Amino acid sequence: MNKSGIVHVIYIAATRNAVWDALTKPELTQRYWFDTRIESDWNVGSKVLYRREDRITDEHVVLQVVPGILLRHTFHPVFTDEYQAEPPSRVTFSLAEDGGVVRLTTVHDEFPPGSRVFSACSVGWPMILSGLKTLLETGETLPKFDFPDR
């Protein structure tokens, strides 16, 4: 992680297709992303909506898709005025598989100076990606927890 972006690399004992599904299927995202359904048809230019308890929390746009290999979209939380006021940043997921292990690289960049979204995501990405890894490797979700922001 640095001030211009967040980079998080994890290794998951799963197939690339399983990781891809966990990133793109709402019934799976809901299990590890704090009850958030991530909904899209995953075509370039399409919206990506994050929905929690029937409320839209984020509105993104698909920028690039190579199924099973690369997913890039804008990132724009809209659930608070201060987040909604920021211009969208960008998230890229890259997947590589070798021997039943997937290397998932997440790059979140293009933050404006002084971004509050950057601060929140610096804490959020490790929690979310740890939840994804746990779900795929064990079939279970992480227990509920509440760590302070710092």
* CATH number for the domain that contains residue 96: 3.30.530.20
Tell me the mean pLDDT per 10 residues along the chain, length 150.
Answer: 79 98 98 95 98 95 98 95 94 96 98 93 94 97 69
Range of the domain at 92: 5-138
* Residue-level pLDDT at 4: 73
Number of domains into which the chain is organized:
1
Q: How far is CA 46 from CA 29, 40, 60, 73, 92, in A?
A: 18, 7, 8, 9, 16
In a domain? residue 52: yes
* Residue-level pLDDT at 147: 59
In a domain? residue 112: yes
* Residue-level pLDDT at 68: 96
Q: How far is CA 97 from CA 3, 69, 111, 133, in A?
A: 29, 9, 29, 14
In a domain? residue 58: yes
In a domain? residue 104: yes
Q: Are strands 89-98 and 101-109 parallel, antiparallel or unpaired?
A: antiparallel
In a domain? residue 28: yes
* Residue-level pLDDT at 148: 57
Q: Which residues pair with 74 in a beta bridge?
A: 90
In a domain? residue 146: no
In a domain? residue 149: no
In a domain? residue 148: no
